[in-house]
């Protein structure tokens, strides 16, 4: 669980990036709604399914090092814990190796 200050810092970074990047955007409801294509980050390394997230959504997922954006139904129940399912993608938390250790260490209910 990231602390709030860290999350705030991430948010600030996102906004800074958006500002740097806004020159290229086509204006269609603002940068927050601009959808970009990423590759599914599921545990299958050969998976190249494109997923669509807004830049802000993607940055929010990657703001947590053990969180990943994947295509819907691409989670591996043995190592992925689904945090959220959206229309276009799902967010999972990896529960392997150091990721599991980090997740355990930061579990407030432990």
Select from 8-16, 25-33, 36-44, 85-93 the region that touches Zn ion (CB under 5 A). Answer: 36-44
Residue of 18, 106, 98, 103 lying closest to 57 (CA atoms): 18
Shortest spacing between CB 40 and Zn ion, in angstroms: 3
Residue holding tokens 């295509």?
71
Q: Tell me which residue has tokens 């150091």.
A: 98
Among residue numbers 2 through 31, which ones bind Zn ion (CB under 5 A)? none
- Beta carbons within 10 angstroms of residue 46's beta carbon: 4
Q: Contacting Zn ion (CB under 5 A), which of 40, 51, 53, 69? A: 40
Nearest approach, Cβ of 101 to Zn ion (angstroms)?
24
Distance CA 20, CA 96 (A): 35
Q: Is residue 1 part of the contact set for Zn ion (CB under 5 A)?
A: no
Cβ atoms 58, 38 nearer than 8 A: yes
Residue 42 binds to Zn ion (criterion: CB under 5 A): yes
| Site residues, Zn ion (CB under 5 A) | 40, 42, 47, 49, 71, 74
């Amino acid at each position: 669980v990231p602390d709030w200050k860290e999350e705030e810092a991430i948010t600030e970074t996102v906004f800074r990036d958006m500002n740097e990047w806004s020159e290229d955007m086509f204006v269609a409801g603002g940068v927050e709604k601009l959808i970009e294509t990423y590759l599914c980050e599921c545990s299958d390394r050969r998976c190249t399914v494109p997923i669509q997230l807004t830049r802000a959504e993607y940055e929010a997922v990657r703001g947590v090092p053990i969180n990943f954006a994947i295509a819907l139904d691409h989670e591996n129940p043995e190592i992925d814990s689904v945090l959220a399912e959206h229309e276009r993608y799902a967010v999972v938390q990896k529960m392997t190796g150091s990721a599991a250790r980090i997740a355990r260490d930061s579990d407030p209910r432990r």
